[in-house]
Chain A
Amino acid sequence: GAVVSQHPSWVICKSGTSVKIECRSLDFQATTMFWYRQFPKKSLMLMATSNEGSKATYEQGVEKDKFLINHASLTLSTLTVTSAHPEDSSFYICSARDGSQYEQYFGPGTRLTVT
């Protein structure tokens, strides 16, 4: 149980284009989803927290207009990187939790490379 999927697993895009990453909870309803970014040899950096049906809460320093997060249903959240730049290249990971558990269950991550 508690499986979270992400799609795509890796993507290469050109500067200036937008990329959408999907995060799905496959066997539970995720009242809250989180988006993280991991830099090489660094910890997970929380970008934003989203609750189903409401606007995401962004961490300080994360541009909400650049990283658009939508949590339209209890099983799906999307992260859209708009007008991507090479410095946006990173490993993006989502996680999800249902309302009754403290644990977050992570997706496998998406490797984004912007050329």
Chain B
Amino acid sequence: DQQVKQNSPSLSVQEGRISILNCDYTNSMFDYFLWYKKYPAEGPTFLISISSIKDKNEDGRFTVFLNKSAKHLSLHIVPSQPGDSAVYFCAAKEYNFNKFYFGSGTKLNVKP
């Protein structure tokens, strides 16, 4: 049973526009959420994170929103750039546990 879900396997966006990547989770004990970016044949790179005590965290062009009541988080990229084209994974961690649960990823394609 997958506790973190990314229901959109792919997303295509025009350069300069906003990219919104979504993630849903089922475990109410998750207290920390992260987004990773992954290029083919490379390991994921950390992008941005958010603690469950917050509902928004911003870092440059990247903003993560957390809606605890809906068990939903999203990553906004504004403005989108062709170099942002990659697979984006969301991940969640349960309080006091080491283990991260990853979604299945969303492949973002930013068209020039």
A contact residues vs B (CB 8 Å cutoff): 2, 4, 6, 32, 34, 41-44, 46, 49, 91, 93-95, 97, 102-109, 111
A104 to B38 Cα, complex, angstroms = 14
How many of chain B's residues have a CB under 8 angstroms from any CB in A? 20
Given A102-B32, A102-B49, does the pair A46, B41 have CB atoms closer than 8 Å? Answer: no
CB of B50, distance to nearest CB on chain A (Å): 11
Q: Taking CB as reference atom, which chain B residue is nearest A4? A: B43
Query: In the complex where A44-B89, A49-B99, A102-B32 touch, is A108 in contact with B104 (Cβ < 8 A)?
Result: no
15 CB < 8 A contacts A-B: A4-B43, A34-B100, A42-B104, A43-B105, A49-B99, A93-B43, A93-B44, A97-B98, A102-B49, A102-B93, A104-B100, A106-B43, A106-B45, A106-B46, A109-B42
B residues contacting A by CB (< 8 A) are: 9, 32, 34, 36, 41-46, 49, 89, 93, 98-100, 102-105
Q: CB-CB < 8 A to B36: which residues of A?
A: 106
Q: Do A49 and B46 form a contact, CB below 8 Å, given A102-B93, A111-B41? A: no
Given A43-B103, A103-B49; A95-B93 close (CB under 8 Å): no
- A6–B44 Cα gap in the complex (Å)? 13
Identify which of B43, B46, B49, B104 contacts A43 (C-beta below 8 A): B104
3 cross-chain pairs, A with B, having the tightest CB-CB distances, nearest first: A106-B43, A43-B104, A44-B102
With A43-B104, A44-B44 known, 9 other A-B pairs at CB within 8 A are: A2-B46, A4-B43, A34-B98, A42-B104, A94-B43, A95-B43, A103-B34, A106-B45, A107-B43
Q: Determine if B99 and A46 form an interchain contact, defined as CB atoms under 8 angstroms apart.
A: yes
Q: What CA separation (Å) do A41 and B102 show in the bound complex?
A: 13
**Bound-state Cα–Cα, A4 to B46, Å:** 12
B-side contacts of A6, CB under 8 Å: 43
Contacts of A109 in B (CB 8 A): 41-43
- Bound-state Cα–Cα, A44 to B34, Å: 14
